[in-house]
Amino acid sequence: MQTDHRKTRIKGLFSKYRVLLIFGLCLFILGYFWQASKGSWLKRKISILCDTQRNKIDPFHGLLGIKVSRNKTNVLHGLPEIALPRMVYSKPHIFKPPRTDVLTMTPWLAPIIWDGTFNLEILNEQFRQRNTTIGLTVFAIKKYVVFLQRFLATAETYFMVGHRVKYYIFTDRPEAIPNMNVKEGREIVPLRVQNYPRWQEISMRRMEMLSYYSQQRFIHEVDFLVCVDADMQFSNEVGVEILSEVFGTIHPGFYAAERQAFTYERRSTSEAYIPLDEGDFYYCGCFFGGTVAEVHKLTKKCHEAIMADKSKSLEAIWHEESHLNKYFVYHKPTKILSPEYLWDNGLGSPQFLKKKRFLTVPKNHAAIRNKRNSNLK
């Protein structure tokens, strides 16, 4: 009887303080989780990058009680300001694109450089303020030294006018480099390299040498590399409008061709193989470039592919040009130079070509490539 009475009292008390009990329980659970987690979020460190002088900064000035780890370098501190001076030029107009006759942008939003699509004055100012130095690489091995005089003379007139330039001349005959005066801020740098018996090997080995020198030397001396053939001449301005992370040039023989007509390597056994349903443009092997780091990556990859083919006794149809084309299928260039930047006068003067900036110099292939003592002219 007494037990029944006690049970009824407990039940009564429980129903009276039920809400309080549940509330207390909730508080206990919340408190438990808060205790468990506060250690981790309060003590969380924010890693920030510190500047090259290793300045220590706490972006929140201790307001949140967050400890800042101070062992990294802040690249955001003390960046140079690139600000244009007052410049007067006609404004860009949304409904008046400067060129409607040619493609000026790829599907991956890389600009294709044509006359009329850029303002060189603005670009010059931007690159000058960054004190950009450009390395122009050219190989003149064996008899190709005969092209150097015209190449360098025209480069002095048209290439990167007003900017700092280093002409890196890879040759097996440094004594044959013409003794020329170059403008202030420009310099001829002879680089002695070995030659090879076959012209195809010389052409392909350029990838190996460029990759090696990029890592060993160019990275310390220049910002961008422009890599071209020797049997060429500049015939109009080629300036900083071409510079970008990594750029290629549309081959003048294939600008209007369909994919299937591109002379890509089609043997699936080669590292340069490109299937018939892939590829954007046919790029020429004689004009590409970019930042030293990107050119290093590109040339290293192409050289490794060339060597892999060699181990299978294969040589791609257009040598290093085939490997360059393969590279650009899977590493899209960030800028593309139109055929203005590589033209052959044998192809005439189509309407869309407002300027011919870089031209092939006609040569007697058999004479220049192989027979050491034949007459070159």
* Interacting residues toward ligand UD2 by CB under 6 A: 139-142, 144, 199, 202-203, 229-231, 284-286, 318-321, 360, 369
Using Cβ positions, the residue closest to ligand UD2 within the complex turns out to be: 285
> Which residues on neighbouring strands pair with residue 238, listed in sequence order?
159
Q: Which is nearer to ligand UD2, 255 or 318 (CB)?
A: 318
AA identity, residue 218: F
The tokens 């040039």 sit on which residue?
249
Is 230 known to sit in a ligand binding site? yes
Q: Which is nearer to ligand UD2, 248 or 285 (CB)?
A: 285
> CA torsion sign, 116 to 122 to 124 to 126?
negative
Query: At its nearest, how many Å lie between ligand UD2 and the CB of residue 185?
Result: 25
Query: At its nearest, how many Å lie between ligand UD2 and the CB of residue 177?
Result: 13
d(CA 118, CA 92): 10
Is 263 known to sit in a ligand binding site? yes
Q: Which is nearer to ligand UD2, 50 or 225 (CB)?
A: 225
Q: Which is nearer to ligand UD2, 115 or 320 (CB)?
A: 320
Is 231 known to sit in a ligand binding site? yes
Is 282 known to sit in a ligand binding site? no
- Measured CA angle at 22 (ends 16, 23), to 5 deg: 105
Q: Which is nearer to ligand UD2, 52 or 194 (CB)?
A: 194
Is 51 known to sit in a ligand binding site? no
Is 280 known to sit in a ligand binding site? no
Is 309 known to sit in a ligand binding site? no
**Given 265, 271, 315, 321, the catalytic residue:** 321
Q: Which is nearer to ligand UD2, 273 or 343 (CB)?
A: 343
Identify the helix (H) or strand (E) that includes residue 201. Answer: helix 199-213
d(CA 35, CA 42): 11
Does 321 qualify as catalytic in the annotation? yes
Q: Which is nearer to ligand UD2, 163 or 205 (CB)?
A: 205
Token pair of 121 as six digits: 């004055």
Please state the φ and ψ torsions of residue 42, each to the nearest 5 degrees.
-75, -35
Is 293 known to sit in a ligand binding site? no
CA-CA distances (angstroms) from residue 41 to 30, 46, 68, 205? Answer: 16, 11, 13, 56
Query: At its nearest, how many Å lie between ligand UD2 and the CB of residue 127?
Result: 26
> CA torsion sign, 18 to 20 to 21 to 26?
positive
DSSP letter string, 117-162: S--HHHHHHHHHHTT-EEEEEEEE-GGGGGGHHHHHHHHHHHBSTT
**287 and 341 Cβ atoms separated by less than 8 Å:** yes
d(CA 153, CA 166): 14
Is 176 known to sit in a ligand binding site? no
CA-CA distances (angstroms) from residue 331 to 119, 245, 293, 298, 336? Answer: 27, 11, 14, 9, 13
Query: At its nearest, how many Å lie between ligand UD2 and the CB of residue 253?
Result: 8
Token pair of 112 as six digits: 């294709």
d(CA 250, CA 245): 17
**99 and 116 Cβ atoms separated by less than 8 Å:** yes
Query: At its nearest, how many Å lie between ligand UD2 and the CB of residue 147?
Result: 7
Query: At its nearest, how many Å lie between ligand UD2 and the CB of residue 318?
Result: 5
Query: At its nearest, how many Å lie between ligand UD2 and the CB of residue 74?
Result: 43
Which residues does the annotation place in the binding site for UDP-N-acetyl-alpha-D-galactosamine?
Answer: 139-141, 144, 229-231
Which residues does the annotation place in the binding site for Mn(2+)?
Answer: 229, 231
Which residues does the annotation place in the binding site?
Answer: 139-141, 144, 229-231, 251, 263, 321, 344
User: Which residues carry out catalysis?
Assistant: 321
